Amino acid sequence: MKKLFLIGDPLNTAYQIEGLTEVSFEKKGNAYQIESDAGLVGAVEFLLSRKSYSPSSRIYNCFVNDDAKIEKVLENNLDARLQDFNQGIDSNVFLARVLTAANDFYLSKEKLLPREISEYQLRAKAYYTFVDSLRKLNLYANNSMLATLIKDCRGTEMYKDGLLWGRSEAGNLINLPPEPIKKYIKSFEEGAVICKEGALDGEMYVLLKGSISVQVGSTFVAQLSLPGEAIGELSLFLDDRRSATLIADEKVFLYVIPQEQLLDFHSSHPDVFLIIARTTADRIYRVLERINRFSYAFSTSEVDQEKLYSLKKELANKGRSELRNLQKQFKEVCEAANDSRLTQIWERMQGLEN
């Protein structure tokens, strides 16, 4: 294998590759072979630059086999490549497998984290999930008290940490036509299970109308309510089991896209692969940032161990009072607004400070 780029290298170009690739996420880390022999490689950082993240250099290492065919692809040509059906599929398969490798790498590190950090992660994630549910609801409720509460919460360190470990905010929405295409539409009544964690079904969902709860095990982790949100999109490119259960909070209308209808769907929604690629790039970045947030927890140097000792003391109870205060403030908003949608979120979020 030969080097294509390394962590810290300048961002010059992406590449169209025909050949085997390996990636790694530390300067001298173990490599993960990517079971994909074609597609856009080195596009992650350019896809991120369209959003609030602006990495100035490579965030992972990439190697290709010695006889790989390599074509440079300039940033201004990426969108067209990703909107092409065949190149869009190949590139998203590559990105999905890089994300899988990044998740495996993260899990190998996460189990080394001290208990104090792991428990704080859960509290920060709960805080973020709560606030993000309120943010999405207030797009429609337009409650001024709630808007002030959300604004204050989103400026806190705990919210930012929760964003890092929680589900990504939907910044990349599939453009929907003025009149949705009926043959893709399915409806689900309130309380219906749309898909189950662990299922193998290979379908993508695109939210048209309504609200959906995301559960992992019996734990609520997110609420989806924005038209154009893609859900389960990686199942189009990987034969993985569902990572969560989706439940309709109210009557929900969705596009349901099985793999065999993807070509037809792409003809009417040509941006679908570009949107999915941006979302996957965002997830890759955030997984690696989770490790960087507490990188010294994995170091044996004396300086880093001193930092870790101080951090463990700081985080032992951090977030408990913030969650209690958030619940108290939200309860006051609920009582003033008398809105059943707010009450539903309030009931779901009891006991978060534990």
Considering the domain boundaries, does residue 124 fall inside one?
Answer: no
The 3-state secondary structure of 52-97, one letter per residue? CCCCCECCCEEEECCCCEEEEECHHHHHHHHHCHHHHHHHHHHHHH
- The three-point CA angle 256-261-267 to 5° equals 105
CB 308 within 8 A of CB 296: yes
**pLDDT averaged over the chain?**
86
- Higher per-residue confidence, 6 vs 139: 6
Instruction: Find the mean pLDDT for residues 23-32.
Output: 87
pTM of the model: 0.82
> Which two structure tokens, joined as six digits, stand for 154?
């989103």
CB 130 within 8 A of CB 166: no
Considering the domain boundaries, does residue 178 fall inside one?
Answer: no
CA-closest candidate to residue 137, choices 275, 251, 249: 249
For the chain, the domain total comes to 1
Handedness of CA 33, 39, 42, 48 (dihedral sign): negative
- Between strands 38-41 and 185-188, the pairing is unpaired
Q: What is the pLDDT of residue 206?
A: 94
Q: Note the pLDDT tens digit of each residue in 276-289.
A: 999 899 889 989 98
The 3-state secondary structure of 254-290, one letter per residue? EEEEEHHHHHHHHHHCCCHHHHHHHHHHHHHHHHHHH
Residue linked to tokens 């949608």: 341
Q: Note the pLDDT tens digit of each residue in 85-99.
A: 999 999 999 999 999
For the residues of 152-220, what is the DSSP string, one character each? HHHTSHHHHHHHHHSPPP----PPPPSS--GGGEEEE-TT-EEE-TT----EEEEEEES-EEEEETTEE
- Higher per-residue confidence, 86 vs 172: 86
Q: Which domain holds residue 35?
A: 2-110
Query: Which residues lie below 8 Å from residue 109, measured CB to CB, with a gap of 6+?
Result: 291, 298
Residue 297 has pLDDT above 80, yes or no: no
Q: What is the pLDDT of residue 167?
A: 65
Considering the domain boundaries, does residue 81 fall inside one?
Answer: yes
Considering the domain boundaries, does residue 259 fall inside one?
Answer: no
> Which two structure tokens, joined as six digits, stand for 193?
């299970």
The neighbour count for residue 85, using CB atoms within 10 Å, is 14
Q: pLDDT confidence of 248, banded at 50, 70, 90?
A: very high
- Higher per-residue confidence, 307 vs 249: 249
Instruction: Find the mean pLDDT for residues 24-31.
Output: 86
Considering the domain boundaries, does residue 57 fall inside one?
Answer: yes
CATH label of the domain that carries residue 84: 2.60.120
Instruction: Find the mean pLDDT for residues 226-242.
Output: 85
- Higher per-residue confidence, 165 vs 354: 165
Instruction: Find the mean pLDDT for residues 253-271.
Output: 93
Residue 302 has pLDDT above 80, yes or no: no
Q: What percent of the chain has pLDDT over 70?
A: 92
CB 88 within 8 A of CB 266: yes
Considering the domain boundaries, does residue 293 fall inside one?
Answer: no
Considering the domain boundaries, does residue 246 fall inside one?
Answer: no
Amino acid residing at 151:
K
> Which two structure tokens, joined as six digits, stand for 101?
């490798």
Residue 351 has pLDDT above 60, yes or no: no
- Higher per-residue confidence, 254 vs 180: 254
Q: Note the pLDDT tens digit of each residue in 186-217.
A: 999 999 999 999 988 889 999 999 999 888 88
Considering the domain boundaries, does residue 84 fall inside one?
Answer: yes
CB 279 within 8 A of CB 234: no
Segment of 88-92, 106-110, 290-294 carrying the highest mean pLDDT: 88-92
